[in-house]
Amino acid sequence: MPYPVPFKRLDIQPCCICGQGIMHDNQITFVRVRGLDYLVITPEGVKRTHGLEQFFGGGNVGAALAHAMDDPELAKVTIPVSDKLVCLKCATETTLAEFIEIVSVPELLEPDPS
């Protein structure tokens, strides 16, 4: 897909945080979040990688040799987030952690009372 990805009529959706239109504050800029993964470390993968690196002497050489022997998954995606639109107000007032919580729990999506 070409980058930047064009934005067309069918791409319009409300802000995923406040539920209002993306231009509700008469702002002409907004944010499109193009996928986001919330990951959790896989302890077995980290231990295995570290153990192999130490086995091969550690440092860059140990890491390269360990990688050649095995390449375990170090983290798993727990919450995949598809494309979302965020109005400028929400984009400037919401932390990334708050954004992840909101998009992963649809019940939290409520229109802004103001």
Residue 16, interface with Zn ion (CB under 5 A)?
Answer: no
In the bound state with Zn ion, the residue whose beta carbon lies nearer, of 7 and 55, is 7
Dump the DSSP string for 38-62: EEEE-HHHHHHHHHHHHHTTSHHHH
Does 15 help bind Zn ion (rule: CB under 5 A)? yes
Helix axes 59-69 and 43-55, enclosed angle (nearest 10) = 120
Alpha carbon distance, N-terminus to C-terminus of the chain: 38
Label the pairing between strands 84-87 and 36-41.
Answer: unpaired
Nearest distance in Å: CB 16, Zn ion: 8
Q: Which stretch binds Zn ion (CB under 5 A): 2-10, 14-22, 29-37, 67-75?
A: 14-22
Tell me the window of 44-52, 68-76, 81-89, 94-102 that interacts with Zn ion (CB under 5 A): 81-89
The one segment of 31-39, 74-82, 87-95, 100-108 that binds Zn ion by CB under 5 A: 87-95
Binding site for Zn ion (CB under 5 A): 15, 17-18, 87, 90
